[in-house]
Structure 1
Amino acid sequence: MSSDPIRCEWRGMAGDPLYEAYHDTEWGVPERDSRALWEKLVLDGFQAGLAWITILRKREGFRAAFDGFDPEKVARYGEADRARLMADPGIVRSNAKIDAAINGACIWLDMRERGEDFSEFLWGFTGGKPIQNDFSSIAEVPAQTPVAVEMSKALKARGFKFVGPVIVYAFMQATGLVNDHLTHCHRHKPVRELGG
């Protein structure tokens, strides 16, 4: 009988199949798709003040409510859509966060229209490759870094909301812009190898 793999010590993850699967298959894997990156940035914005597991449990609800996070559809949302979203128990209901998501879709489309790829823009902050960290304890992992501060400022300058440096660093960790799996975690080496 095989034992459970050694994972990062996230509070509340042990024994939660959804949380463990997210850690084992998704978190830290380098994401290069511009739409998927925008979706994750929106979800991290909705997380502000909440635990990530709350958002993870509602992620499919968010995807349904926001038309699969299709920026072209979300950018056209009007008052009826805002009201629909505020009445949807399948998501986190916050006027400010909903408005930020709609506004973010408009910015994403504007960047694309001007020939600026969202993925290339984000990966430019790390030189196109994941930052590889070698933390052995969760206590060593920072809440933000100078690169996250720089990315946060650039996102804010374009008009994105809920993109402070702490949110941005969590986003960077989740999308593989940085590998913060702990060195003893079974995912540290495989994720490092994905970084090229």
Structure 2
Amino acid sequence: MRPLINLCVSALLALVAGPALSNCIDLTKGSSFNLTREEPRFTVTNTVFDDGTVLEQREIIRSGKVETVITTYWNGVVPVDRKSSSSRVQLKINADVKRSELGKAGKSYSFPVAILVNGNEVDRGTYVIETIRKTYLEIAGCRYSVMVVRKTIDRNNGDPINEEALLSLDAGILLGNVAMTPKWQAKHGVFFDKIEAN
């Protein structure tokens, strides 16, 4: 009798869970995705190209005004060009960074980098990428496979800039990001409430 009850309960749970699971996005399909954070309002559209380059267009509401920032990422994690209405920040880095294997934990890469603001070089240093571990991130009740990737700009003239990125292993886009202190303590992060395919 108990196996029959268990079977019935399992079937009921499957029926209840079915519609929710069907709303989950398959990140292995398609090349453009929208991510939304409700409070404070923050939307991102990511377009993935064949070479792994990601074009991110984000819209943030600040003081009642919409601010648009467009960023080009290599490998989904290295922001080589970020443009807003007020500034442009670029990282000049060897294109070999595109060949970094970010799907396997325990990898480490470093590249010389120059930092440019509005076309003028302001600093140099080393860009370090480390793949820490695979895990899952939940968005709107759906679990997505991600790699925790640590990124450091070890600057010649200033403290290192540290971030911990949650890189989708299926789509090659950022599903979350945490700014870290020089000692790798979390300062603030960006996470999303909804993801949709275009």
TM-score, normalisation: structure 1: 0.31
Q: Which has the higher strand share?
A: 2
- Greater relative contact order structure (CA < 8 Å, 6+ sep): 1
Q: Which has the higher helix share?
A: 1
Q: Which entry has the higher C-alpha Rg, 1 or 2?
A: 2
